[in-house]
Amino acid sequence: MSDTGFKKQLSLPGLIAMASGGMVAAWMVEIRYWFELSGITSALALVVCAVLILPLCFIYSEMTAMLPYAGGANVWASNAFNWDMGFFTCWGLLLLYVMAMPTVTYGIASMVTYFFPITFLQTKILAVALTVGAFWLANQELKLLTKIQGILYWSTLIISVGASIIFITSGEWSISNMQPFFPMGGKGFFAAVALLMMKFIGFDLIPQLSEETNFPKKKLWIAFLGAIGLTVLIYGMAVVGVGGIFTREEIMALDVVDPRAADLIGMHWLAILIVIMGCLVCITTIPGFWLSAARTLYGAAKQRQMTKLFGVLNAKGQPANANIAIGILALFFTVFAPDAWVNYIYTIYGITAGVVYFIVTISFISLRLKKPHWDRPYKVRMWPVVAAISACFTLWVIYTCLGEISAGGLAVLGIYLVGGMIAWLYAKTMQRKKPDEWKKFIISPESGISEDELYRS
């Protein structure tokens, strides 16, 4: 077991690759659902969503630089309001990270259908196997994971953008295939804007990994903007590329879109390359979310919101017990996911992300007013305006996704919330039974101890 806390070994390019790599996953499978809502203008919806997320990214940049601790939004909400608010923010964050993992594993399994058909049961079995493999990766040194993620992510960027350019310049690409531009009208377009927030969740990995960065905290904003910008580039180019090859109806009927487009223009080698690249980058995406989820539990353990066992690091600097807990949750959502797993996850994601990001926004406002003297290596300009835009956007996302969610999705959210209440009551009970071990603690610049001392196991 390590007793020195996390190592500072993550560079700025490495952090961008980890964050953007968390956002770029299985689009060739999911893209048909984007076209169902808004056709070719789902590319515009991606851009609009990214622009509306920018105020939130600036808020995250300031909050992360000011409170660069594992736990992220949990630590911020705890400081802005109280320990209890932090706990439930932590619970929401966990859902975002944990549900991302089965999403990616199902995406990989769906991409494999390009080579041979598999049943949904076989898809689940493969997804479970991938989750088990990701557990092993999540327990390795961050330096190794960053190196693997970097190689695969930058390769993915080149191959995916290159493939889109090939599609656009091929003789099969035509603007006429893109019509109608707004097949579901304004309602479909704005629903796409709200639901596509899911594809930018990866930027939330940055606060969880900020403790392990080796560059000045004032540069964190570059990581946020870089990750968002590169994600828009990859997804936007993919939408435009395949949107001119196939009609909307054809895309909605396909299993994996991009490789089918490559086959249509007579480049089977490109189709194989796209599928292999997509599977490999997804395999490294899972540990990224796993790392963030485990660090969320790690931060909660340090604030006495969860058992101190989650705060124990193994010899490679990873929270081993927290990784086990995350593995159990990931397997649960993988095994019990329904056939319509994409729609099921998108709406749950949208609601949960909207709630968490709204809490982050009001935490930002609260700390600006309560703690103006705290050191902020990066400060948001015109912060009241930025906060207002972020608050309105997150509330609108919650409202829109509630209108799209199924009864099954609401049931999953309800069950998860009940689980959070049980965990919260357990922590409260332990505070009474073992007051010294479970005494409430909030990580802050005023904690009175150094960062190394705070995170020493």
pLDDT at 192 over 60: yes
Per-residue confidence (pLDDT) for residue 457, from 0 to 100? 42
Per-residue confidence (pLDDT) for residue 281, from 0 to 100? 78
Per-residue confidence (pLDDT) for residue 455, from 0 to 100? 45
Per-residue confidence (pLDDT) for residue 329, from 0 to 100? 85
Q: Average model confidence (pLDDT) for the chain?
A: 85
Helix, coil or strand: residue 2: strand
Domains of the chain with bracketed CATH:
12-454 (1.20.1740.10)
Query: Measured between alpha carbons, how far is 87 from 24 in angstroms, rounded to an integer?
Result: 29
Note every long-range contact of 260-266, with CB atoms under 8 Å and residues 24 or more positions apart, other chains counting: 260/114, 261/167, 262/163, 262/166, 262/167, 264/172, 265/166, 265/167, 265/170, 265/171, 265/172
pLDDT at 16 over 50: yes
Query: Measured between alpha carbons, how far is 162 from 167 in angstroms, rounded to an integer?
Result: 9
403-430 tens-digit pLDDT: 878 887 888 888 889 999 999 999 999 9
Per-residue confidence (pLDDT) for residue 1, from 0 to 100? 36
- DSSP, residue by residue, 168-224: HHSTT--GGGG-SSSTTHHHHHHHHHHHGGGGGGGGGHHHHHGGGB-S-GGGHHHHH
- DSSP, residue by residue, 277-313: HHHHHHHHHHHHHHHHHHHHHHHHHHTTSS-GGGG-B
Query: Is the backbone of residue 11 left (phi > 0), alpha (psi -120 to 50) or beta?
Result: beta
**Local structure of residue 316 (DSSP, 8 states):** T
Per-residue confidence (pLDDT) for residue 5, from 0 to 100? 58
Query: Measured between alpha carbons, how far is 241 from 252 in angstroms, rounded to an integer?
Result: 15
Among the residue ranges 193-197, 203-207, 284-288, the one predicted with the least confidence is 284-288
**Mean pLDDT, residues 56-78 taken together:** 91
Per-residue confidence (pLDDT) for residue 339, from 0 to 100? 63
Query: Measured between alpha carbons, how far is 388 from 245 in angstroms, rounded to an integer?
Result: 41
pLDDT band with cut points at 50, 70 and 90 for residue 260: very high
Helix, coil or strand: residue 7: coil
Per-residue confidence (pLDDT) for residue 272, from 0 to 100? 93
Among the residue ranges 21-25, 67-71, 130-134, 310-314, the one predicted with the least confidence is 21-25
Query: Measured between alpha carbons, how far is 202 from 211 in angstroms, rounded to an integer?
Result: 17
Assessment of whether the complete model's pTM goes beyond 0.95: no
353: exposed, middle or buried (Cβ count in 10 Å: 0-12, 13-18, 19+): buried
366-407 tens-digit pLDDT: 999 999 999 999 999 999 999 999 999 999 889 888 887 888
Per-residue confidence (pLDDT) for residue 344, from 0 to 100? 66
